[in-house]
Amino acid sequence: MGNFNDPKFAASYAMRTNKRNIKRGNELADQLKAMGFKKGKVLDAGCGPGQTAVVLAKRFSKAEVVGMDLSKPLLKHGRKFAKQEGVKVKYEEGNLEKMPYDDDTFDVIITQNTLHEVNDQVAMLNELERILKPGGILLLGDIKRTWLKIVIPWMGHTLSLEEAKKYLKRSKLRKVKVEESFIRYTFTAGKAR
């Protein structure tokens, strides 16, 4: 895919994904609204260039939004974008397999296109469970590996839904609803209204 710690690559990636991340942020905000979320502490785990976190901060002005990623250049872009958009998002450097948060910290955790990126998927899922409050909302989505890897080589690096379910089964993550579309799968937890 590329080196997210390279400032030039990170800037190019942030620019290429800007519209898509804003669109995804609005879709996730609509989903949260439909689930009854209004305020609380939200984590965008693996926030990348931070556009989704900014959208969430705009859409939920009473929420405290945190974006966490390993890439300093992407976090720098997120801070710049949040300032430009006039919203407060706390961006922090961290590893999804060992997050720097206390148990039961977040009301909502969103993580998009990250499960295939980590070294230890079970550790990541266990961490999400640890830091998500009981009754909290989890929206995990990722690109699934399909036959498209033949024409889009980087998709060979993603997980099939069956592989993702195996990691889910081995983890301590609470019961989730599993859905799939042509190119994505989602794990959702929380009470829809």
pLDDT digits (tens, 9 = 90+) for 168-193: 999 999 999 999 988 888 999 987 44
- Domains annotated for the chain, with CATH where assigned, are 7-189 (3.40.50.150)
Picking from 87, 86, 22, the residue whose alpha carbon sits closest to that of residue 49 is 22
- Per-residue model confidence as pLDDT tens for the chain (193 residues): 567 777 786 667 667 777 888 899 999 999 999 999 999 999 999 998 999 999 999 999 999 999 999 899 999 999 999 999 999 999 999 999 999 999 999 999 999 989 988 999 999 999 999 999 999 999 999 988 554 444 444 444 578 899 999 999 999 999 999 999 888 889 999 874 4
Q: Pairing mode, if any, of strands 177-180 and 184-189? A: antiparallel
Contact assessment for residue 113 and residue 143, using Cβ atoms and an 8 Å cutoff? yes
Tell me the pTM: 0.89
Backbone torsions φ then ψ of 139, nearest 5 degrees: -125, 95
Q: Which helix (H) or strand (E) holds 162?
A: helix 161-170
